[in-house]
Chain A
Amino acid sequence: MGNKSSLMLQEEEIAEIQDETGFSPSQIERLYSRFTSLDKGDNGTLSREDFLRIPELAINPLGDRIVHAFFTDAHDDRINFRQFMHVLSRFRPLKKNRENKFNSREEKLRFAFRMYDLDDDNKISRDELLAVLHMMVGANISEEQLASIADRTIMEADTDGDQMISFEEFCATLERTDVEEKMSIRFLH
């Protein structure tokens, strides 16, 4: 299968993706073979179902949301390899001297923000926060406790008093957090 996938990926396409995302050719080829192994329909695109078939993702409480985030820039319900790579490139480690439009601190934070902000209005409402809390914590925390966590979180972050967390407020609360490191993985070669 490795042979087949490297045949299907054109040299110039690799170069373009490398240019756009900053991945190295060997990383692109490796991710392409991953892409094709996920692509059960063999038509060069992935659907949500293709993602959700990954067993580990099925037990991840945020699995649905993560998959959903891959499709924000897609016009229909399928994404091609290029779009796949654009999303993944957000999680490349940041290198000081090489700027990139995808993996900046802001892009990483925006991606995390979208995990909450389901209706894309650039605000996290109390309900959106509660929904994520529900997914992440187990059944051993009561409804009241969850509500009070949500209220405290909003109260802490909300500086303009609209009872919601805007992207700017979100970034401000994470000022001390090393987002560059926390939201990066080393992609295999």
Chain B
Amino acid sequence: HDGHSQRYQVAKVDFPHVSTPFIISLWIFIAGLAKIGFHVTPKIHLICPESCLLIVVGVLIGLLLFYTGFHSVEHLTPDVFFLYMLPPIILDAGYFMPNRLFFDNMISILIYAVVGTVWNALTIGLSLWAIGLTGLYGVELPLLDTLLFSSIVSAVDPVAVLAVFEEIQVNEVLNILVFGESLLNDAVTVVLYHMFEGYTEMGQENLITIDYIAGVASFFVAALGGALIGIIWGVLAAFISRFSHHVRIIEPLFVFVLAYLAYLNAELFHLSGIVALAFCGITMKNYVEENISYKSHVTVKYTMKMLASSSETIIFLFLGVSTVNDDHEWNTWFVVMTILFCTLYRAIGVIIQTWFLNRFRLHKINKVEQFIMAYGGLRGAVAFALVLVISENVIPTKAMMVTTVIAEVYFTVFIQGMTIGPLVRILNVSTSQKTKLSMNERLHTRLMDYLMAGIEDISGHPMGNYHLRDKFKYYNNKYIRPFLT
């Protein structure tokens, strides 16, 4: 011991030892501060939504890091985003989903999510490609590359939509339509993304008919498989919570762990993790709530809300930080055309689909609501994370695409997100009424439900909404509930 020059130190600095958890905690801390800052600043929520402000704070931090030389640190990596930050938000959305509203509007939501997203992806992709043929962009852009890109920007983002629509409080049907679409279209995005990625790797000239058929088939696998996995884990969570009343303290744990497993399980097979998680939440909620204690319920609720809200905050913050780097490749015409086509085709798509759906819907979607639907089609971090995953070896124009996606995200979140609140007020969109139902209303609407189910049965409606719900309720009460609660 004597030979050592260094003596025993009372204290020393060992940053590498704690760097990762330290930086993560620091980020959460900053995000929390930013959120508090937003809410204590009077009237700022009238000017811009929280998400915009968080991005601005993120950009400022990014600039600070960039000029102080810390820019080598990667912030929003796809893995971090998809494995840690996205699941809490989706679980929260699925678990607190107004089930009845969701299933009543299921057909419309599915049409918007599936047909709408495919329509957007194809029209945006083909238009961008056609414009590219004129040589306007100055770079060569093969058709499949463009379609891969358009499949990323075409989907409405659940995180951005949730953040903005939570604040503007439109009526519940409009809300569930946009929000449900943003959740379910993940299945489409996942499939289109993997499909075009696969096609691009194979090369356009090697594609044969069977590949296209496989592409279409994989959509059903991703969507239905995701939903099925979600339901299985949801049922398991409900079943386990039946036996947890001896150890109340771990009740919330099962809710979170099993939901997360559902997500990972879906991702494992390249199915839609978002759909799986949403359905897991929808499935388990009613049964779990009956099984767990009130305190556990409060814990579940608050933990979920806290995780979702902090994760959302961090996403927007990181989105801001990650845009500050020197890999950008700005292509004005490509950016302008992308934004133009995204807006234009979303509007056209919503109008055509709504015209079709309104012929079958009882609650017609009026012109103003259609406008808000088209306008509320925000793009967000999912698109950003997906475009980062593209391999530069396969698609040489990746840098340009990343920049364009960022531009599109900023455009929708800032311009549309900031103006949608005032527009809702100006256009007099009916807003949600959060008053409690009176005893009479509860009783009579319940009676009407049974009555309408009966009328549907008498008139021979094999797939009527009331009829299906009634049937589900009957089997649920008779077989499923006794088993799970």
Q: A residues within 8 Å of B by Cβ?
A: 30-31, 34, 37-38, 51, 54, 56-57, 59-63, 66, 70, 88, 91, 93, 111-112, 115-116, 132-133, 136, 138, 149, 152-153, 156-157, 170, 173-174, 176-179, 181-188
Contact = CB atoms under 8 A, between A and B. Distances in A.
Contacts of A184: 362
B477 A138 contact: yes
Contacts of A149: 439, 443
A136 B446 contact: yes
Tell which of B363, B460, B466, B471 has the most Cβ of chain A within 10 Å: B460
Interface in B447-481: 447-448, 450-461, 464-467, 470-471, 474, 477
A183 B447 CA distance: 10
A56 B461 contact: no
Contacts of B363: 178, 181
Interface of B: 360, 362-363, 433, 438-441, 443-448, 450-461, 464-467, 470-471, 474, 477
Given A62-B454, A133-B443, A187-B459, 15 more contacts: A31-B460, A34-B460, A57-B457, A60-B457, A62-B451, A66-B451, A66-B455, A66-B458, A132-B447, A156-B438, A176-B441, A185-B464, A185-B466, A188-B460, A188-B461
Contacts, number: 106
Top 6 nearest A-B pairs (CB, nearest first) are: A173-B440, A66-B454, A34-B460, A56-B457, A62-B450, A153-B439
8 contacts: A30-B460, A60-B470, A112-B444, A149-B443, A153-B439, A153-B443, A156-B440, A185-B465
B470 to A, nearest CB: 7
B459 A61 contact: no
Contacts of B456: 185
Given A182-B445, A188-B461, A59 B474 contact: yes
Given A136-B446, A153-B439, A177-B444, A182 B471 contact: no
A174 B437 CA distance: 10
A184 B455 CA distance: 10
Contacts of B460: 30-31, 34, 37, 188
A184 B361 CA distance: 11
A10 B467 CA distance: 31
B140 to A, nearest CB: 51
A140 to B, nearest CB: 10
A93 B364 CA distance: 11
Contacts of A57: 454, 457-458
A6 to B, nearest CB: 16
Given A34-B460, A181-B362, A153 B440 contact: yes
Contacts of A31: 459-460
**B contact face: mostly helix, strand, loop, or mixed:** helix
Given A136-B450, A183-B451, A51 B362 contact: no
Contact of A173 (B438, B452, B466): B438
Contacts of B457: 54, 56-57, 60
**A contact face: mostly helix, strand, loop, or mixed:** helix
A183 B362 CA distance: 10
Contacts of A63: 454
B66 to A, nearest CB: 54
Contacts of B450: 60-62, 66, 136
Contact of A56 (B452, B471, B477): B471
Given A66-B451, A66-B454, A186-B360, A34 B459 contact: yes
Contacts of B471: 56
A157 B363 CA distance: 28
Contact of B453 (A60, A88, A186, A188): A60
A60 B440 contact: no
Contacts of B439: 149, 152-153, 156
Contacts of B441: 173-174, 176-177
Contacts of B452: 91, 182-183, 185
Nearest to A61: B450
Contact of B459 (A152, A176, A185): A185
Nearest to B474: A59
Contact of A112 (B448, B458, B459): B448
A178 B433 CA distance: 13
Nearest to A64: B454
Contacts of A37: 460
A85 to B, nearest CB: 10
Contacts of A178: 363
B448 A51 contact: no
B3 to A, nearest CB: 80
Given A149-B439, A177-B444, A112 B455 contact: no
A176 B434 CA distance: 12
B478 to A, nearest CB: 9
A154 to B, nearest CB: 9
B356 to A, nearest CB: 14
B477 A115 contact: no
A66 B447 CA distance: 11
B448 A182 contact: yes
Contacts of B433: 176
Tell which of B445, B453, B457, B458 has the most Cβ of chain A within 10 Å: B458
A138 to B, nearest CB: 7
Contacts of A38: 458
Contacts of B453: 56, 60
A186 B362 contact: yes
B480 to A, nearest CB: 15
Given A60-B470, A136-B447, A174 B440 contact: yes
B475 to A, nearest CB: 10
Contact of B362 (A93, A132, A174): A93
A174 B459 contact: no
A137 to B, nearest CB: 9
A153 B464 CA distance: 30
B440 to A, nearest CB: 4
Nearest to B462: A188
Contacts of A157: 440
Contacts of A51: 458
Contacts of B451: 62, 66, 111-112, 115, 183
